[in-house]
């Protein structure tokens, strides 16, 4: 590979890593081609990638990063896993390494922040973004369902009252009011008093004498 080819390859790697959320650095020695293809497919499904890299090129890619611990990881048979979000690459790579011990998690990079191995392992235990979205949707939808049910239940009771009322030919307003009150009471609405007598009448029905000036 001549100088120009190397320069173009470094440029391409930088472009691929521009908009990622998380980079995971691994050793892959001993993995079969079928196994690396399987890991690559899993990451691709999460809008990520798995690439075997040349350490010398990665040193050029990370030239502007002054973290020596990060650059020290690019030694030996190195491959990188990355995703656009900050969780998927760690979760997929770590879970894969549990079933294929030839894949070793070394560390990672989130933005310009260097991640040690323990940091990547901790990120892998977090819920995925899809799981977080599903929980948020469930929290939002559950109260809405309860409210909709309550409104529908109340509307059904009122509709039944008015339907019964409309079936009758009632000309007396007082009788119609009493009927509506009784029907509402039978559907769980608290009963109201329908006594229209003035409050200043006693039980005998005789009005008290007004005071003389």
- Cα of first residue to Cα of last residue in the chain, in angstroms, is 120
Please choose, from the candidates 49, 124, 39, the residue with its C-alpha nearest in 3D space to the C-alpha of residue 86. 124
Q: What is the pLDDT of residues 85-144, one digit of tens each?
A: 999 999 999 999 999 999 999 999 998 899 999 999 999 998 877 777 787 777 677 665
For the chain, give every domain's residue range. Answer: 3-126, 131-186
Are the CB atoms for 22 and 89 separated by under 8 Å? Answer: yes
Q: What is the pLDDT of residues 27-62, one digit of tens each?
A: 999 999 999 999 999 999 988 999 999 999 999 998
- C-alpha 43/C-alpha 35 separation (Å) is 13
Q: What is the pLDDT of residues 150-161, one digit of tens each?
A: 556 556 655 665
In CATH terms, 3-126 corresponds, of 3.30.420.40, 3.30.70.1730, 3.40.50.2300, 3.50.50.60, to 3.30.70.1730
pLDDT score, position 190: 45
Q: Most confidently modeled of 51-55, 146-150, 162-166, 198-202? A: 51-55
Count other Cβ atoms within 10 Å, centred on residue 21: 17
Note if the pTM is more than 0.85.
Answer: no
130's CB contacts (< 8 A; 6+ apart) are none
């Amino acid at each position: 590979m001549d100088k120009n080819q190397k320069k173009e390859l470094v440029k391409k790697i930088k472009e691929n890593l521009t908009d990622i959320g998380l980079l995971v650095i691994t050793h892959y020695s001993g993995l079969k081609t079928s196994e690396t293809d399987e890991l690559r497919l899993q990451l691709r499904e999460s809008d990520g990638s798995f690439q075997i890299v040349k350490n010398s090129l990665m040193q050029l890619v990370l030239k502007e990063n002054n973290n020596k611990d990060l650059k020290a990881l690019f030694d030996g048979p190195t491959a990188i896993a990355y995703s656009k979000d900050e969780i998927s690459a760690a979760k997929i790579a770590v879970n894969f390494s549990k079933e294929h011990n030839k894949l070793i998690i070394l560390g990672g990079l989130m933005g310009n922040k260097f991640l040690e191995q323990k940091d990547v392992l901790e990120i892998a235990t977090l819920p995925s973004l899809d799981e977080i979205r599903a929980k948020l949707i469930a929290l939002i939808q559950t109260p809405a369902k309860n409210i909709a049910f309550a409104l529908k239940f109340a509307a059904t009771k009122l509709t039944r009252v008015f339907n019964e009322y409309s079936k009758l030919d009632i000309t007396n307003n007082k009788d119609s009011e009493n009927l509506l009150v009784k029907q509402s009471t039978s559907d769980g609405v608290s009963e109201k008093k329908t006594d229209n007598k003035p409050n200043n009448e006693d039980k005998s029905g005789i009005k008290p004498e007004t005071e003389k000036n």
